[in-house]
Structures are given as structure tokens and as C-alpha cells.
Amino acid sequence: MLYTTGEDVNALINVVAAAGTTNRIEVKVNDNEDYVKTVNVTASDTITVKLSADWFTLGENTITAQMFSNDNAGEKTDKISYTALWGYNATAPILAFADTTIEGQQYEENLINYYAYNPANETTTVTLSFSDGTQRTSVVGREM
């Protein structure tokens, strides 16, 4: 998702919790311990967590969420994460990749998900260069 307004971000999180239990959701931006929002939940629901615009940096940001049990110490879910592209106050084009690692076998097709944002235009030209010298160029809009 691309954010260009400079306003706080509302992250929607689907929660599946056992009835009658108390849990907490921790949502972090860029895995920074200073940028954590904690929400207590007691049932399955979709919750909205407001994250401060000040927590985001220009370019690629990662929002992670994890649920911890308040009833059973040490019990927690796997983390889920989401890549957000912060374009507010951008003066130059930004390119960010959705996946930190792309693995594949020789002759296998692989999908490279990326975000491109050019504050000056609705579209921008992106050139991907590979280690063998191959290049691919495309004109893309402000989307992944």
C-alpha cells in the first residue's frame, strides 16, 4: 500500500482468539521497539490499530503484528507482516521490493513484486538489472 498523505495509518488486523481468553496484539513498525502499539483482545474480531505517521520513514516500511496470550505465559502466534511504501514528502522516485528474498531454480519463472512511486508523475520507468547483464524495462503506475 502506498501512503502519501502524511496522516496516521489505520492497520486492520483479523484476530482469531479462543472464547474466554485474554490476549494482546503487538503491532510494530520497522521492528522498532519504540514504535509499538498494544491492543487487548478477548474474542475473534477485526481490529483497527492507529499507527503514528511519525513512525514511518520515506520508502519501504514493514508493519508486523503478533498475538500473545495473557492467560498462558509464553504462548504466542507467528508474526504476520505487511510492506508499506511511505511516499509523503518524497522529492525523488522510490522503489521498494515486497519480498526481501526471491528464490528459484534455473529456468524457473519467478515473480518480482515491487512498488514504484514517482511523486512527479503518475507513471515511472523501472529498469531491473540482473547479474548476467540482462535488463528489463517497463513503465509502471503507482502500484505494486
- Domains (range + CATH), the chain: 2-86 (2.60.40.10), 94-141 (no CATH)
pLDDT of residue 76 exceeding 60: yes
Q: How far apart are CA 87 and CA 59, in angstroms?
A: 6
Give the lowest-confidence range in 14-23, 32-41, 76-85: 14-23
Q: In the predicted model, what is the mean pLDDT of residues 38-53?
A: 88
pLDDT of residue 29 exceeding 90: yes
pLDDT of residue 143: 59
Which cell numbers hold the place of 89? 514528502
pLDDT averaged over every residue in the chain:
85
pLDDT of residue 51 exceeding 60: yes
**DSSP structural state of residue 44:** S
Q: What is the pLDDT of residues 92-120, one digit of tens each?
A: 888 777 776 778 888 888 888 777 888 88
pLDDT of residue 45 exceeding 60: yes
pLDDT of residue 82 exceeding 90: no
Q: Annotate 70-103 with b (16+ C-beta within 10 A) or e (fewer).
A: eeeeeeeeeeeeebbbbbeebeeebbbeeeeeee
**DSSP structural state of residue 63:** E
Q: What is the pLDDT of residues 119-134, one digit of tens each?
A: 888 888 888 888 889 9
Percent of the chain with pLDDT over 70: 96
The pTM for the full model equals: 0.72
Q: Are 85 and 63 in contact (CB under 8 A)?
A: no
